[in-house]
Amino acid sequence: MQSPNFVGPSPTQLTISSETQILPSAALVASDLAAIRRPKALSCLKNALGKARAAAEATGRVSIADDSGIEAAALGGAPGVRSARYAGAQASDEENLAKLLREAPAGSALEYVCALVYVDPRAGVERVFEARCKGRLAAEPRGAGGFGYDPAFLPDDGDDGPPTLTMAELTDAQKDAISHRGRAARALLEWLTAN
């Protein structure tokens, strides 16, 4: 099988590395598909579908796309699909995180959301894999690992009690075991293996 296109939230090495660590047998490759026009949507699922369909149509190859974000219950689900641009179009991870910490109370519920979409234009197959990781907002950022909102995300999974480590304090293996992307990628891998 020809290596599929992989279209992440942006063509960043972090996203591609995270996915390929979990899906090594899928032979994902980073394609520069920035020139492909795809509609901007109001949900992670619709964004991922748009990216995968656009890449598949443009290349005629199997395409896998993901989109993810963080949803704060105290903010009605924001920033959601705008997670990467929460503090502005050119905002850094630190600026986005600082805005979330200002607007949502410490201890309030958070969810990481991932939509991973597989599109095979030749077979006419589309599959969607959605996953979540529930947690709470830390009072302040901690940890040097991960990226984005990880330093203030206390996952509910992994401990037998209140979460004590942020996603940025977990090892890569611990994070992949409970993360939204890890769960979605494993579901995709299981489906690919069975089909």
> Residue 105 contacts by C-beta under 8 Å, 6 or more apart in sequence?
74, 137
Catalytic residue among 66, 67, 157, 160: 67
Nearest of 99, 120, 82, 102 to residue 2 by alpha carbon: 120
Return d(Cα 127, Cα 171) in angstroms, integer.
30
Query: Contact 160/137 with Cβ under 8 angstroms?
Result: no
Query: Contact 74/104 with Cβ under 8 angstroms?
Result: yes
Is 67 catalytic? The answer is yes
Beta-strand runs (E) in 73-148: 79-80, 109-120, 125-137
Q: What's CA 46's distance to the chain center, in Å?
A: 13
Return d(Cα 98, Cα 31) in angstroms, integer.
32
| Residue with token string 């907002």 | 137
What residues are annotated to the active site?
67
